[in-house]
């Protein structure tokens, strides 16, 4: 039976909706009222929404309508317009807030194809997924926009019939305009990147320079803050003491003062004014120096004092959180500091957020244990790497071409991402058999190189203006959708195993 016959069957007898029809995603079948049906189909190399039966959503959907054996049916593209129509009638397709939810996972999906696998594993382990999560840098490098990112996630939710709720995170936004844009597109989480407002120069100031700059901060504010912090030892729940020796207090203030002001401004002028419920995350992770426990306390305490409601805060932890590979650093020290950071977050009532959380298996057990299962963790690049692994398994020739291209353009990609991976440490791909290619995904250098060159890989065009790799990658992952889903379920599942999510 084809999808068109399935439409007729649904109209005849809704009870038969489980009858097999080739290409139909069974979990997607849904009705509006009693005589209108919608479902996702994969047929003849494309994926689309099928609709039958007169109803408001049916009429609002754009697509090709045909009279099939006396019944009007519609074949509609899974695009942003049709997403908006469907989400109006089927609210589970809209992202929602996650404040109050224990474990939340950000699952950046650069291709817009990973949400199916993500939903599979998150539904199984009861983890709240933030399926749409992209930074402006990622949008620029992949040529997508927030409307499309949200649309792709929403269609995956529809296709899977996933009704437990998902989030959408405008990740690492740096300006009012960017935050506004993400909110206008329906994003429910905003991660404000304060790195441009953090004064890293302070770390190399002389004592004199610190004093000079300190005096430049308005007296009103300065004296108030002095009274609160300078020379004080602040006890949190009798367990953690945060010291503010005068010199250190001045330093912390100079490094973070503008970031706090900036965060408050964005919160008041954009987040509050939007009237929307927003999961607001402040991030200071992409900066040169790690966030000390003192810094964290100061920033949090000031934000709360100013009435800024944060759902989560992302400090820069000790050690290195490089893209797509495991944690590098002293795990004992990490545990010790992470415990303090967590206590501060708990004290002020928000969640600690761990960024660049792809493949950080060495620290996952500590994150799960110390927080008692209350945290936000962001992954992104690893989902792209899993996609490339599927390419290597299914089309070794295509993978070889991508791999060589990535190596040849590595220096360019390094402008956007800092990695330790080096081309000379990667095995010569010509010496590997097709079966051995997958081994590259277990090696740090190769992982990082494929990880950071995604933008160049996806945007490369030939002289005729045709994509060199993009269409082939999308085509392959379309064909082997189940492989990609399963590989993601396994790989993100491995993250969950280490985090102690059973
Ligand atoms: Zn980050």
Identify the CA nearest to 168 among candidates 106, 111, 113.
106
Q: How confident is the model at residue 303 (pLDDT cuts 50, 70, 90)?
A: very high
Q: How confident is the model at residue 22 (pLDDT cuts 50, 70, 90)?
A: confident
Whether pLDDT at 397 is above 80: yes
> Which pLDDT score, from 0 to 100, does residue 286 have?
82
> Among residues of the chain, what percentage have pLDDT more than 90?
92
Q: Tell me how far the alpha carbon of residue 411 lies from the centroid of ligand 1, in angstroms.
A: 22
In the annotation, is 171 catalytic? Answer: yes
Whether pLDDT at 471 is above 90: yes
Q: Tell me how far the alpha carbon of residue 172 lies from the centroid of ligand 1, in angstroms.
A: 6
> Which pLDDT score, from 0 to 100, does residue 239 have?
84
> Which pLDDT score, from 0 to 100, does residue 501 have?
96
Q: Tell me how far the alpha carbon of residue 24 lies from the centroid of ligand 1, in angstroms.
A: 38
Strand locations in 359-453, DSSP E? 375-379
Catalytic residue among 171, 389, 395, 483: 171
Q: Tell me how far the alpha carbon of residue 352 lies from the centroid of ligand 1, in angstroms.
A: 12
Other C-beta atoms within 10 Å of 323: how many? 20
Angle between helices 219-229 and 293-305 (to 10 degrees): 120
> Which pLDDT score, from 0 to 100, does residue 295 have?
97
**Going by C-beta distance under 8 Å and a sequence separation of 6 or more, which residues neighbour residue 78?**
40, 47, 48, 49, 151, 155
pLDDT mean across residues, the chain: 95
Q: How confident is the model at residue 18 (pLDDT cuts 50, 70, 90)?
A: low
Whether pLDDT at 359 is above 70: yes
Whether pLDDT at 17 is above 70: no
Mean pLDDT of 274-288: 93
Contact by Cβ (8 Å): 421, 448: yes
Least confident stretch, 213-217, 397-401, 483-487: 213-217
> Which pLDDT score, from 0 to 100, does residue 15 have?
58
192 half-sphere exposure, CB direction, 13 A CA radius? 31
Q: Is 432 helix (H, G, I), strand (E, B) or coil?
A: coil
In the annotation, is 264 catalytic? Answer: no
Q: Tell me how far the alpha carbon of residue 286 lies from the centroid of ligand 1, in angstroms.
A: 6
Whether pLDDT at 34 is above 70: yes
What CA–CA distance (Å, rounded) separates 454 from 188?
26
Q: How confident is the model at residue 307 (pLDDT cuts 50, 70, 90)?
A: very high
Identify the CA nearest to 61 among candidates 43, 44, 84.
84
Q: Tell me how far the alpha carbon of residue 372 lies from the centroid of ligand 1, in angstroms.
A: 22
Q: Tell me how far the alpha carbon of residue 324 lies from the centroid of ligand 1, in angstroms.
A: 13
Mean pLDDT of 425-443: 96
**pLDDT tens for each residue of 101-119:** 999 999 999 999 999 999 9
> Which pLDDT score, from 0 to 100, does residue 16 have?
61
> Which pLDDT score, from 0 to 100, does residue 272 have?
97
Longest distance between any two alpha carbons in the chain, whole Å: 86
Q: Tell me how far the alpha carbon of residue 359 lies from the centroid of ligand 1, in angstroms.
A: 15
Q: Is 333 helix (H, G, I), strand (E, B) or coil?
A: helix
Catalytic residue among 169, 178, 281, 389: 281
Q: How confident is the model at residue 250 (pLDDT cuts 50, 70, 90)?
A: very high
> Which pLDDT score, from 0 to 100, does residue 418 have?
82
Q: Tell me how far the alpha carbon of residue 222 lies from the centroid of ligand 1, in angstroms.
A: 30
Mean pLDDT of 203-207: 92
Least confident stretch, 60-64, 282-286, 400-404: 282-286
**Of 207 and 14, which is predicted with more confidence?**
207
């Amino acid at each position: 039976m084809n999808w068109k016959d399935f439409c007729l069957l649904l109209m005849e007898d809704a009870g038969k909706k489980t009858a097999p029809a080739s290409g139909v995603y069974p979990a997607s079948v849904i009705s509006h009222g009693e005589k209108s049906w919608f479902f996702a189909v994969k047929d003849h190399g494309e994926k689309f929404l099928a609709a039958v039966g007169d109803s408001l959503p049916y009429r609002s959907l754009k697509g090709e309508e045909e009279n099939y054996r006396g019944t009007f049916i519609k074949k509609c593209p899974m695009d942003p317009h049709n997403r908006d129509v469907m989400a109006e009638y089927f609210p589970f397709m809209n992202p929602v807030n996650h404040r109050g939810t224990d474990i939340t996972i950000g699952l950046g999906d650069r291709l817009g194809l990973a949400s199916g696998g993500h939903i599979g594993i998150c539904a199984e382990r009861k983890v709240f997924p933030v399926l749409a999560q992209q930074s402006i840098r990622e949008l620029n490098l992949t040529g997508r926009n927030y409307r499309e990112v949200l649309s792709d996630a929403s269609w995956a939710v529809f296709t899977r019939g996933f009704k437990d709720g998902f989030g959408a995170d405008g990740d690492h936004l740096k300006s009012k305009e960017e935050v506004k844009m993400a909110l206008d597109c329906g994003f429910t989480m905003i991660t404000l990147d304060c790195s441009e407002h953090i004064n890293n120069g302070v770390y190399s100031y002389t004592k004199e320079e610190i004093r000079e700059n300190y005096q430049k901060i308005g007296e009103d504010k300065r004296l108030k803050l002095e009274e609160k912090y300078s020379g004080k030892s602040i006890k949190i729940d009798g367990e953690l003491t945060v010291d503010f020796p005068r010199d250190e207090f001045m330093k912390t203030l100079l490094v973070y003062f503008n970031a706090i002001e900036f965060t408050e401004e964005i919160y008041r002028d954009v987040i509050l004014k939007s009237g929307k419920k927003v999961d607001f995350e402040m991030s200071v992770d992409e900066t040169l120096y790690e966030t000390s426990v003192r810094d964290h306390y100061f920033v949090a305490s000031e934000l709360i004092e100013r009435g800024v409601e944060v759902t989560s805060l992302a400090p820069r932890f000790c050690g290195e959180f490089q893209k797509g590979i495991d944690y590098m650093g002293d795990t004992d020290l990490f545990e010790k500091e992470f415990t303090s950071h967590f206590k501060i977050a708990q004290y002020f009532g928000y969640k600690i957020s761990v960024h660049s959380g792809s493949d950080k298996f060495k620290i996952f057990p500590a994150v799960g244990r110390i927080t008692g299962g209350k945290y936000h963790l962001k992954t992104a690049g690893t989902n792209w790497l899993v996609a490339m692994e599927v390419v290597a398994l299914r089309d070794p020739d295509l993978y070889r071409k991508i791999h060589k291209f990535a190596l040849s353009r590595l220096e360019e990609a390094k402008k956007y991402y800092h990695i330790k991976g080096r081309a000379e440490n990667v095995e010569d791909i010509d010496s590997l058999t097709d079966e051995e290619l997958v081994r590259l995904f277990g090696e740090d250098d190769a992982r990082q190189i494929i990880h950071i060159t995604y933008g160049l890989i996806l945007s490369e065009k030939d002289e005729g203006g045709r994509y060199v790799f993009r269409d082939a990658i999308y085509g392959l992952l379309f064909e082997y959708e189940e492989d990609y889903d399963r590989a993601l379920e396994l790989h993100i599942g491995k993250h969950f195993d280490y985090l102690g999510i059973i």
